[in-house]
């Protein structure tokens, strides 16, 4: 915003445009040669100050620069006034007060109107009546926003009066000001209950508020920014926010980025870009211990152990030592059927295995089977520990979902689901259960639909429904349940078989393996398909994909062609096709939760491969991922012995 007429600027404004005089002109002033002092500051021979402002009689003689148009550059869409005002805010924030004053004088723009400055002073000084009067002059158009802003101010006023033990005045504010502006009766009830507190510390603790002498008034200003137009009162550190957003966007677009944000260098001079040297595209270890196809792998939460389940009716817990040497920690053989489902408890002390309709609970230190559960009547396809550690949940082809406690005792059997569950996952925020599977309507369903004239039914020449006595084609669905109520939130019909589902750490996205040859990313918040990942082969087998890398920035999947496929999650770009497994399908992949540069894959070739980023010691041909060293685990631990799948139970 321009200075108001009450604050006149120096006369004789300078008309400015693109510079044509060059560096030599910049380094001279009134014919006097300038020289630097070795620290980058310019020393003038005519008495000019170090910031380049010529002083006459102790007053600034800077003239306002009038530039054509209102854009920062002719070919940009950035408003010059907004840019300068953000610069003014940033300069003042970091302490360049004189530089900000110079820019303000030369540009003719002020960071904020005087009324905004006074409003901030009123809030920081606790002058609540003045603050409310000033609030009315800050351009809030929405009436609801005005009431919400008033409520926040009155709430602060009320809490400070209670803290000062001025209970009568606080009660007056509660009745006359808060009650009339409260957007939420529940919140008003909570505030009124604070009247009973006798100690200031009790008030602060119960209100989650740090007091008048803390940061609460600064926080109030931050909260008020939501209701006051940003063009009137610029949000705090706005320039820094824009820079951070740019950095985060660069990281999202960097297809091989795989390092934490806090350890990623950020330069304003160049865009961020990673090469693929840090990507785990090289096999460093091949684990051989199973005698048949390996169907599933899962990492422990501490990233030190890897569980594998196989068609050979065993599960193996592998251990990675501090020197990255692998060994078979335990071989769990007490299964009557192939092992297809695995799940670690939150503290990694227990492991669940699913084999047909049996669920077994194992002690991961001793290898002893703690309990066997046979409540399901068909194949158990999914096992998932609850994120709060209170127990686990299972799903099966018998259309049943069962909840269990940490000891393996059944606590709750859900009503029959609409699908034969092929996989399920609990969201990390403990709000939803996402299931996938197949619903096969019966002939009764078909007759019912025909009698209702359901669209899509066809009629024969006599006018009767041709499908009235025939079963409908199976429907593949993703059904999302609210965990606490077990009610269906949404049911999404999908074409093709659905074999696995994984949930992102922010609980927003579901990654669903979809046959044929497709992986889908669903936005659970918006209830829509966000992205597809294609290239891998899946038609007949169960393939389990996963998120991987920092913030789940990669999507990884096995394939029936024996390769591992990796995509960039944000763009959907196929980054890598990793070969190395033998004939047959790569059935499952799992990313190490503690090491962003390591994941595992398992295959019909009886092996498990550990993929890591190459190091200089490996001497690998990184671009082609060829000639990798392979180490085989043959040494057991304790009573465990493992050589080509042969060994004792621990």
For 350, the enclosing helix (H) or strand (E) is strand 350-355
Q: Which two tokens stand for residue 468?
A: 């009235």
Q: Give the sign of the dihedral formed by CA 254, CA 258, CA 259, CA 260.
A: positive
Closest CA to 636 of 319, 242, 332, 252: 319
Q: State residue 2 phi and psi, 5-degree precision.
A: -75, 160
Can you give the pLDDT at residue 617?
58
pLDDT of res. 251: 82
H/E element, 442: none
Residue 46 and residue 460: Cα distance in Å, rounded?
A: 102
Q: What is the pLDDT of residues 340-353, one digit of tens each?
A: 999 999 999 999 99
Cβ–Cβ under 8 Å, residues 214 and 203: no
Helix (H) or strand (E) holding 333: none
Identify the pLDDT of residue 555: 97
Q: Output the pLDDT for position 104.
A: 92
Flag the least confident range among 58-62, 79-83, 354-358: 58-62
Tell whether the model's pLDDT for residue 367 goes beyond 90.
yes
pLDDT attached to residue 346: 96
Window from 30-44, 385-399, 603-617 with minimum mean pLDDT? 30-44
For residue 512, what pLDDT is reported? Answer: 97
Residue ranges of the domains in the chain? 14-78, 114-236, 341-416
Secondary structure class of 586 (helix, strand, coil): strand
Q: Please compute the mean of the pLDDT values over residues 348-372 and round it to a whole number.
A: 97
Tally of CB atoms within 10 A around 522: 23
Burial degree of 146 (CB within 10 A; 0-12, 13-18, 19+) = middle
**Which residues on neighbouring strands pair with residue 402, listed in sequence order?**
394, 413
32, β-bridge pairs: 29
Tokens of 238: 């706005």
Distances (CA, A) of 30 to 19, 54, 113: 17, 10, 35
Could you tell me what percent of the chain has a pLDDT over 70?
Answer: 79
- Under CATH, to which class is 341-416 assigned? mainly beta
Average pLDDT of the chain, as a whole number: 83
Q: Would the pLDDT of 250 be above 90?
A: no
Distance separating alpha carbons of residues 383 and 424, to the nearest angstrom: 8
pLDDT above 60: residue 641? no
Determine how β-strand 509-514 pairs with β-strand 498-503: antiparallel
Whether residue 291 is predicted with pLDDT greater than 70 in this model: the reply is yes
Q: pLDDT at residue 68 above 60?
A: yes
pLDDT, tens digit, 9 for 90 and up, residues 531-590: 999 999 998 899 999 999 988 999 999 999 999 999 999 999 999 999 999 999 999 999
Whole-Å CA distances, 67 to 29, 96, 224, 481, 597: 22, 24, 34, 60, 52
| Phi, psi (rounded to 5 degrees) for 249 | -65, -40
Residue 626 has pLDDT above 70, yes or no: no
Note the pLDDT of residue 210: 94
272 confidence band (pLDDT: 50, 70, 90): confident
What does DSSP assign to residue 346? T
More confident residue, 477 or 260: 477
Rounded Cα–Cα distance for residues 87 and 74 (Å): 19
CB atoms < 10 A from the CB of 411, how many? Answer: 11
Specify the pLDDT at position 151.
Answer: 93
pLDDT at 2: 53
Residue with tokens 């592998």: 318
Query: What is the tens place of the pLDDT at every residue in 499-515?
Result: 999 999 999 999 999 88
Tell me the CA distances in angstroms from 461 to 458, 465, 471, one per residue in order. Answer: 10, 9, 20
| Distance from C-alpha of 48 to C-alpha of 62, rounded to nearest angstrom | 12
| 641-647 long-range Cβ contacts below 8 angstroms, 24+ apart | 642/289, 642/316, 642/327, 642/328, 642/331, 644/288, 644/289, 644/291, 645/288, 645/289, 645/290, 645/291, 645/312, 645/314, 645/606, 647/289, 647/328, 647/331
Backbone angles phi, psi at 364, to 5 degrees: -80, -5
First vs last C-alpha separation in the chain: 76
Q: What is the pLDDT of residues 390-429, one digit of tens each?
A: 999 999 999 999 999 999 999 999 999 999 999 999 999 9
Three-state DSSP class for residue 73: coil
Q: Over the stretch 162-197, which tens digit does the pLDDT of each residue have?
A: 999 999 999 999 999 998 877 678 888 889 999 999
Q: Are 43 and 29 in contact (CB under 8 A)?
A: no
Nearest CA-CA partner of 231 in 321, 165, 160, 140: 140
User: Do 72 and 78 contact (CB within 8 A), yes or no?
Assistant: yes
Q: Cα(151)–Cα(157) distance, rounded to whole angstroms?
A: 10
Kindly report, residue by residue over 429-483, the tens digit of the pLDDT: 999 999 999 986 654 443 333 333 333 333 333 333 333 344 556 789 999 999 9
- Residue percentage of the chain with pLDDT more than 90: 67
**Residue 365, token pair as written in the block:** 């230190």
Q: How many Cβ atoms from other residues are within 10 Å of residue 99's Cβ?
A: 17
Host H or E run for residue 13: none
pLDDT at 540: 86
């Amino acid at each position: 915003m321009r200075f108001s007429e009450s604050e006149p600027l120096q006369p004789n404004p300078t008309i400015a445009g693109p510079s044509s005089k060059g560096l030599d002109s910049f380094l001279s002033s009134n014919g006097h040669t300038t020289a630097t002092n070795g620290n980058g500051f310019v020393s003038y021979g005519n008495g000019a100050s170090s910031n380049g402002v010529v002083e006459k009689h102790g007053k600034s003689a800077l003239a306002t620069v009038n530039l054509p148009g209102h854009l920062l550059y002719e070919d940009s869409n950035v408003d010059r006034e907004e840019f300068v005002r953000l610069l003014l805010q940033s300069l003042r924030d970091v302490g360049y007060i004189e530089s900000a004053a110079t820019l303000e004088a030369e540009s003719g723009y002020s960071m904020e109107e005087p009324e905004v400055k006074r409003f901030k002073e009123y809030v920081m000084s606790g002058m609540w009546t003045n603050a409310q009067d000033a609030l009315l002059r800050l351009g809030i158009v929405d009436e609801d926003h005005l009431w919400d802003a008033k409520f926040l101010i009155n709430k602060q006023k009320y809490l400070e009066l209670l803290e000062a033990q001025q209970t009568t005045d606080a009660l007056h504010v509660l009745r006359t000001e808060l009650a009339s502006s409260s957007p939420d009766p529940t919140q008003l009830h909570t505030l009124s209950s604070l009247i009973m507190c006798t100690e200031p510390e009790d008030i602060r603790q119960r209100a989650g508020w740090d007091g008048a002498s803390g940061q609460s008034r600064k926080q109030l200003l931050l909260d008020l920014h939501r209701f006051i137009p940003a063009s009137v009162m610029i949000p705090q550190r706005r320039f820094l926010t824009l820079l951070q957003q740019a950095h985060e966007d660069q990281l999202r677009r960097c297809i091989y980025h795989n390092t934490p944000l806090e350890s990623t260098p950020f330069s304003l001079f160049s865009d961020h870009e990673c090469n693929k040297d840090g990507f785990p595209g090289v096999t460093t270890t091949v684990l051989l211990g199973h005698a048949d196809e390996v169907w599933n792998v899962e990492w422990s939460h501490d990233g030190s152990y890897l569980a594998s389940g196989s068609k050979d009716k065993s599960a193996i817990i592998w251990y990675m030592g501090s020197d990255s040497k692998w060994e078979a920690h335990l071989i769990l053989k007490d299964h009557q059927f192939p092992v297809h489902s695995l799940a670690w408890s939150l503290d990694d002390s227990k492991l669940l295995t699913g084999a047909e309709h049996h669920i077994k609970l194992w002690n991961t230190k001793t290898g002893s089977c703690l309990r066997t559960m046979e409540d399901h009547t068909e194949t158990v396809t999914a096992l998932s520990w609850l994120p709060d550690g209170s127990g686990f949940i299972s799903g099966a082809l018998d259309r049943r979902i069962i909840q269990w406690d940490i000891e393996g005792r059944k606590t709750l059997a859900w009503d029959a689901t609409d699908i034969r569950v092929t996989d399920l996952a609990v969201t990390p925020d403990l709000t939803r259960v996402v299931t996938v599977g197949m619903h096969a309507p019966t002939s009764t369903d078909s007759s019912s639909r025909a009698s209702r004239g359901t669209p899509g039914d066809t009629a024969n020449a006599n006018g009767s429904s041709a499908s009235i006595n025939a079963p409908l084609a199976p429907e593949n669905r993703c059904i999302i349940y609210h965990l606490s109520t077990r009610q269906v939130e949404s049911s999404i019909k999908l074409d093709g078989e659905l074999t696995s589902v994984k949930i992102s750490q922010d609980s927003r996205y579901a990654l669903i393996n979809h046959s044929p040859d497709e992986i889908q990313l669903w936005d659970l918040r918006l209830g829509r398909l966000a992205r597809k990942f294609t290239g891998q082969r899946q038609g007949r087998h169960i393939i389990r994909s996963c998120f991987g890398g920092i913030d789940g920035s990669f999507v990884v999947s096995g394939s029936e062609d024996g390769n591992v496929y990796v995509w960039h999650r944000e763009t959907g770009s196929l980054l890598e096709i990793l070969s190395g497994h033998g004939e047959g399908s790569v059935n499952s992949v799992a990313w190490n939760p503690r090491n962003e540069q390591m994941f595992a894959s398992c295959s019909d070739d009886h092996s498990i491969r550990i993929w890591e980023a190459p190091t200089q010691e490996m001497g690998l041909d990184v671009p082609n991922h060829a000639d990798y060293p392979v180490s085989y685990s043959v040494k057991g631990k304790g009573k465990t012995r493992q050589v080509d799948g042969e060994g004792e139970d621990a």
